[in-house]
Every structure is written in C-alpha cells, then in structure tokens.
Amino acid sequence: MDLVVFEENKPYVLEALGNGDFDYIEAAGEVFESDFFRFIKAGSILKSLAESYPTPRQKEEVPLWFYVASNLSMRLHGEHSFNAFPLVVRCGGMLNALGPEVGRKVVHPDTGDVTVACEGFNKKNHYDREAPCDQDYLRKVSKDTDADALTRWFSRDVVRLFRSRRAYDKAGIFIGDGSYLFVPDNPNYEGSSKLLFDEHDHPISQKAYEKMPDAKKAHCQWRRCYKMVTLLHTNPAMDYFLFVAVKVVSGKDHECPVLYDLVKQFVEVLGKGVMKRLILDRAFLDGEAISRCKKDYGIDILIPVRRNMDIYEDAMALMRQPDVRWATCAPPHLKAREPSRPRPKAVEKREKKRQETLRRLKAKETPLPPDKILLTREAAAIGEFRSWSSCTVPLSVVANRERYADGHEEIWLLLDTKDVKDPCEARQEYRIRTATEERYRQLKCFVDLTNFTSRAFSMVVNQVVFTMLAYNLLQFYLMREGRKELNKKPMPLIRKRLLPTDSYTIIYWQTYYGRFEAYELMGFLVSLGEVARKKIAEKCRRRRLELNDLMNNPRPP
C-alpha cells in the first residue's frame, strides 16, 4: 500500500455530500496527534523520512513510512515498549490522519469492544487484523537496524530534511553537550560501562575517591551507564530546540572527540554558514579542534576555561591591571506576559491583596547572609591571547566578576574565538547553554528517555533517536501552528494543552476530508434534497454492513 495523503478541504467535501457522495465517516477526538500526523504527511516529511531510512530488510512487506509513523506515535505517547503498540493505535489519533485505508473502528463481534479493523499490508493473516501491523514487526526492524547507520541517518538525512523546511535560524547558534544515560546494573546492556559517581552524578577517578573524606565517600556509588553526545540548535530567543546530531557511546568514552566528529559531519552535510556559533562546556576544551572549527568551518566557539590552564593564569594577571575596563551587566530581563484580555476587577483586587501578603511574609523572613547577597555583575574582555599552545587562533578572554555584600568576589572566564566588543553580550550568550539543560531534564524525566525496555544496543539507540526525532517534529509543528510558547513545556503538558474540548465527525471523499461538529453536520443533512438523502442513507446502510463483516475471523479474546 502506498502512502496516501489526505488534504483538508471542507467546501469540496460539503459539495460532494450535497450530491450524496462520501467514502467513509468516523468520529475523532484525539485532534492533537491527528493534526500532527496530517502535518508531517501533507508536507511530505513522513515520506522523506521513510525514503532515507536505513532499513535492514531487503523485502518490504510493511511500508517503511508506516514503521516510522508508528515509532513516532509511540514516542509521542511516552511509550517505549513495542508491546504497547496495539493500545497506542486504538487510543491515539494516528489512524485518523492516515485515513480509512489503513484502519477503521468497528465493534468486536465476540467481546463487543470497540476496536480497529485493518486490512494490513500483506495476505499472511490467519485472523482478522486489529492493528495495521504486528508489534513484533516493529520490534524486529528496530533491533535489526544498525545503530551507527541509524545515528548517521538522524545526523545526515534528517538534518537535510529540516534544512529544506527552513528550520534553522540565521543566527546559527548550536550547543554541544554530553550526558550520561543510567541503566540498571545489568552487564547484559550491550556497550555499557560501570563507573563511580559522586553525589552530583559526576564521574570520579579512584584516586579522587581515595582522597575524599569518609562523609563524601558515603554518597558515592557505582552506576552502569551510556554516554549521549548531542548537538542542539536554537535561536537567541530560545523559541525552539532542535536536536541535529546524536551519538550514543560507552559511558567510559570521552565526549570531546565524539562531539567534534559530529560538528565535522554537520558541516559536510549542510556546508559552511549554517552553524556559526557553537557554545560548549569545559569538557570540550581541545585547542586543535577549536582551531579547526574556526579556520576550516568558520564556526566561533564560546567555552569556559579551566583554572589549571596556563591561559587562565595569564588572563587573571592581566585582568588585575588598573586600566582594564569592567562593564556592569544587568540581570537577565524577563518579559512579563501580557494578559490576553482585561481581568475582572474582583480578580485584580484579589491579586493586589495577594501581592501585599507576599511582601509582608518576605519581610519577616530571615535575611540572607552577606556572602549570599549578590550586589553587581561585571564583565571585561581582553583579546589576542595566544598563550594556549595547542590553539593556533587568537582568543578573546571574557572575565565575569560577581561581587557580594560581604566584600568577596567570584571570577570565572570564558574563551571566545571571535573578537569580543561587548563582554556582557558574551556572558548573556553563554546563558543559552545553561538554559538548554532543562531540555535534557525534560527528555529524561517527562519523556523517560532512559527507560530502556531492551538490553540490545541497537534498541537503546533506536529509542534515543526516535524520541529526539518526535521531539524535533513536535517543536517544528508547534512553530508552524503559531504555538511556539508551548515549546518550552514538557511533553505531557503539551499533550494536555492540545487535547480538544470537543469531538468531530470526519467525512472522507476521494483524497480529501472535512471535520464537522455534530449539530453542524446534522443541520446540513436535514437541509438536503430527497435524492441526496436517500443516496446517503443507502450508502450508510452498505458501509455499516461492510464494517460489520470486516471481522469474520477475529483472534480469540
């Protein structure tokens, strides 16, 4: 079965219905998922993903576009076990978007439950299908897909697809990150490592552990893990977050060479000029790689400095000179959200009273100690640093100083491969990297990225890649729908906000469909002429008999 694209055209469907013509009628309530799949299907996104997917099969009995769609639907529902696929098909809205050719809702003749009757994609069924394909098919294709081929597909073909949809911002801001994916302590997790972590989930060496006091040693533990290295794209306003490259490796592997290989691959695929700014943390300090990014790829890197580096000592000595000009940096400005409409006077009065109560309670609180009261934030920049021997490009050092009420100050440094004119701007730009940490927290906590149901490495990578792909496509969909404010929300809240408050009746005719409210459709039908009403009544009778006969041989309950 080929991929059929249904386009919403309500006037055309109404015209056909006025003549007594329609193909299929169904009720739809899961508008969020249905609209999402209509969006990626009508825009040929689903077709493009399927055409480039690195399939392990020589014979295609089930279309790849359906495999990709099913995998995405499971991730949108937060399900990672393929055993949940039949439930996702029946409860979700994917079939509403794919049309009646894929599946139709019917009543099970034995149990009386509402289920789905599907024709399927081959003639090998001994029982009537209740899903377009078996969940075991999805599991086997996922497991047999080579892990390296899958990450290359995501980091090459998928990024080309987003480029063709103009998904990348002109500012070209990208963030590199390395993150641990913790799994149960089972050595059967292929390619995993067991490492010693401190109380903050930072890996520590055996030497560092031996030097720790006993109180801190008690909080350390051995944990089995993988390491996930990613490239993330956003714009200065952080309206969306798109993962453009990912690599899952053993937990003991260093993330630095992996990330710069992903950067090289991204430039080879899309060319120079798409990635202009790369913001990293200090784990990716590599003078040769930073020089290569600047010289060969035209990418400016912003990264913190370690205190044990020679360039740190040199910069600190210069920053203490009296002629260095420090600029006062204002705290990040949070834009107040404007109410969509004037609030009632009673609500305004209650809010005013609540704010007064909060001010009184805050005045009674114990004041912070002087060493915790921040007075000013300052920044200064000095350019043309060449004291880092492995880095062959000139660097600007941005010093960030924070003064506290007790007189002490804290200073931390940033390295920048571009000539810095405004040090406060560089400081504010680096804040984008720390803000993206919330993205990873949402993926791990709210999407449950690390809830791996299989110990095979290919299945671990499949879960990571398709979770990120579903996240990307959802962000892209919300941007196109003018709902970018939802991009900063976790997945369960997005689903909750997009669920409908009303149900619709969807009528299909040829390759078009229209959505109708109940009273709207009833009012239209009773206004039709006698010939059209009789034609619709006869067609409804035939369709009902066809649906009743769809499950002549259901699987025993």
Q: What is the pLDDT of residues 414-431, one digit of tens each?
A: 999 999 989 999 989 998
State the average pLDDT over residues 353-362: 89
* Statement: residue 100 has pLDDT above 80: no
**Cβ neighbours of 64 (radius 10 Å):** 19
User: Contact, 377 vs 328, CB < 8 A?
Assistant: yes
Looking at the structure, tell me whether residues 62 and 119 fall in a common domain.
yes
Looking at the structure, tell me whether residues 106 and 161 fall in a common domain.
no
* Statement: residue 64 has pLDDT above 60: yes
Q: Classify residue 436: in a domain, yes or no.
A: no
> For the chain, percent helix, then strand, then coil, each to nearest 5?
45, 20, 35
Residue 90, domain extent: 7-145+500-548
Looking at the structure, tell me whether residues 193 and 222 fall in a common domain.
yes
Model confidence at 139, pLDDT cuts 50, 70, 90, reads very high
Size (the chain), residues: 557
In this predicted model, which residue has the larger pLDDT, 248 or 552? 248
Residue with tokens 């599991």: 139
* Statement: residue 485 has pLDDT above 90: no
What confidence score (pLDDT) does residue 330 get?
A: 81
What confidence score (pLDDT) does residue 274 get?
A: 94
What confidence score (pLDDT) does residue 163 get?
A: 93
* Statement: residue 556 has pLDDT above 70: no
Q: Two tokens at 407?
A: 């007189």
To the nearest 10°, the Cα dihedral for 473, 476, 481, 484? 120
Mean pLDDT (the chain) is 85
Looking at the structure, tell me whether residues 165 and 263 fall in a common domain.
yes
What confidence score (pLDDT) does residue 190 get?
A: 94
Q: Which of 455, 489, 509 is the last residue of a domain?
A: 455
Q: Classify residue 338: in a domain, yes or no.
A: no
**Three-state SS at 301:** strand
Q: Which of 423, 439, 455 is the last residue of a domain?
A: 455
Q: Which residues pair with 194 in a beta bridge?
A: 224
Looking at the structure, tell me whether residues 159 and 253 fall in a common domain.
yes
What confidence score (pLDDT) does residue 5 get?
A: 63
Model confidence at 141, pLDDT cuts 50, 70, 90, reads very high
Model confidence at 48, pLDDT cuts 50, 70, 90, reads very high
Model pLDDT for residues 446-483, shown as the tens digit of each residue: 677 778 889 999 999 999 999 999 989 988 888 888 88
Angstrom distance (rounded) from CA 94 to CA 30: 9
User: Contact, 50 vs 68, CB < 8 A?
Assistant: yes
Looking at the structure, tell me whether residues 140 and 167 fall in a common domain.
no
What confidence score (pLDDT) does residue 298 get?
A: 94
Looking at the structure, tell me whether residues 517 and 504 fall in a common domain.
yes
Q: Classify residue 71: in a domain, yes or no.
A: yes
Looking at the structure, tell me whether residues 135 and 24 fall in a common domain.
yes
* Total number of domains in the chain: 2
In this predicted model, which residue has the larger pLDDT, 332 or 214? 214
Task: Please return the burial class of 425, using the count of CB atoms within 10 Å of its CB with bins 0-12, 13-18 and 19+.
Answer: middle
Q: What percent of the chain has pLDDT over 70?
A: 89
- Of 347, 165, 189, which is closest to residue 244 (Cα–Cα)? 165
* Statement: residue 51 has pLDDT above 70: yes
State the average pLDDT over residues 113-129: 71
Q: Classify residue 509: in a domain, yes or no.
A: yes
Q: Classify residue 466: in a domain, yes or no.
A: no
State the average pLDDT over residues 312-329: 86
* Cα R_g (the chain), whole angstroms: 29
DSSP category for residue 337: P
Angstrom distance (rounded) from CA 482 to CA 503: 22
* Statement: residue 262 has pLDDT above 90: yes
**Cβ neighbours of 284 (radius 10 Å):** 24
**Cβ neighbours of 52 (radius 10 Å):** 15
Q: Classify residue 100: in a domain, yes or no.
A: yes
Looking at the structure, tell me whether residues 176 and 210 fall in a common domain.
yes
Looking at the structure, tell me whether residues 133 and 25 fall in a common domain.
yes
What confidence score (pLDDT) does residue 296 get?
A: 94
Looking at the structure, tell me whether residues 117 and 180 fall in a common domain.
no
* Statement: residue 502 has pLDDT above 70: no
Q: At what angle do helices 255-270 and 157-164 cross, to 10 degrees?
A: 50
Q: Classify residue 295: in a domain, yes or no.
A: no
What confidence score (pLDDT) does residue 455 get?
A: 93
Q: What percent of the chain has pLDDT over 90?
A: 34
Q: Which of 423, 455, 487 is the last residue of a domain?
A: 455
Angstrom distance (rounded) from CA 226 to CA 83: 24
Looking at the structure, tell me whether residues 201 and 138 fall in a common domain.
no
Model confidence at 13, pLDDT cuts 50, 70, 90, reads confident
Q: Classify residue 554: in a domain, yes or no.
A: no
Angstrom distance (rounded) from CA 485 to CA 506: 29
Angstrom distance (rounded) from CA 391 to CA 149: 33
* Statement: residue 30 has pLDDT above 60: no
